[in-house]
Amino acid sequence: MEKLKNFGVWFCAVLLLLSSCSKAQKSMSEKKEMLKDKNVLIVYLSRTKNTKTIADIIHQNTGGTLIELELQNPYPEDYKAIVDQVAKENDTNFLPPLKTKIDDIEKYDVIFLGFPTWGMQLPPPMKSFLGQNNFKGKTIIPFNTNAGYGIGNSFDTVKKLSPGSTILEGFTIKGGVERDGILFVMEGKKKIEAEKKVKEWLTRIGMSK
C-alpha cells in the first residue's frame, strides 16, 4: 500500500512537470506566432558606438530596418559640455530637433529603441523621437547601454511616452565609461559576451529567428 501511495505521488509530480513544460512551450510558441511576419524597426542613439553595436547584433538576429537617430544640431564632442547641455535640456524639457525622419513609421509593428543612459534618464533626442510619433498599437522594445549605473528611469519614460503601445522586456548592458575616458568597449570578449546575452534575451521575448 505504501509503495502504491508513493507511486501515486511520483506520477502526479511527473504530470505536473509535463503540464508546466507544455505551458512554457505553448507560451513561447504563442510569442513567436504573435510576432511572426511583423515589420521590425530598430532605432538607436549612440555616442560612443556601444549602443550601435547592440543595435547591429539585434539586427543580425531579427532582420528589419536599422536607423541611427541623428540631430539637426549634433552635441559637442567634449564630455563635460554635453553633460551640461543635456542637464539643461532635461531641466527645461527641451526636445532637440531631429535630422532623422521616418515618414513610413506606421508600417512597422515592432520597434526596438536603443539608447545610452544619460544622467540616469532617457536621452532628450529619444524623447523627441517618441514625442513626434504615434506608437499606439505597436510593440516597443527598449535596449540600453550604460556606464554601470543601470537604466535609471529611462525604460519607465519610454512607457510613459508610448501610450497605447505594448512594452516588452528591455535589455541593458554595461558599455563604456566616457567620464573616465573609456569609450568603445564592445569588441573582443566583450562583444562575444554581448552577443550571447542579446540572443538569450531575444529568445526569451520571442523575437529570435
For 18-64, the pLDDT digits (tens) are 454 444 444 545 545 555 678 999 999 999 999 999 999 999 999 99
Residues 94 and 125: their CA atoms lie apart, in Å, by 10
What pLDDT is attached to residue 81? Answer: 97
For residue range 4-22, list pLDDT tens digits in order.
Answer: 445 444 444 434 444 544 4
What pLDDT is attached to residue 43? Answer: 98
Query: Is residue 24, in this structure, part of any structural domain at all?
Result: no
Query: Is residue 25, in this structure, part of any structural domain at all?
Result: no
Total structural domains within the chain:
1
Query: Can you give the pTM of this predicted structure?
Result: 0.85
pLDDT along the chain (209 residues), means of 10: 49 46 48 68 98 98 97 97 98 97 95 97 98 96 97 98 98 96 97 98 93
Query: Is residue 1, in this structure, part of any structural domain at all?
Result: no
Domain with 85, as residue range(s), is: 38-204
Q: Which of 44, 48, 46, 70 is nearest to 59 (CA)?
A: 44
Query: Is residue 105, in this structure, part of any structural domain at all?
Result: yes
Query: Is residue 21, in this structure, part of any structural domain at all?
Result: no
Query: Is residue 93, in this structure, part of any structural domain at all?
Result: yes
- Letter string b/e over residues 88-100, b meaning 16 or more CB atoms within 10 A of that residue's CB: ebbeeeebbebee
What pLDDT is attached to residue 37? Answer: 79
Query: Is residue 45, in this structure, part of any structural domain at all?
Result: yes
Query: Is residue 80, in this structure, part of any structural domain at all?
Result: yes
Here the CATH number for the domain that contains residue 115 is 3.40.50.360
What pLDDT is attached to residue 12? Answer: 43
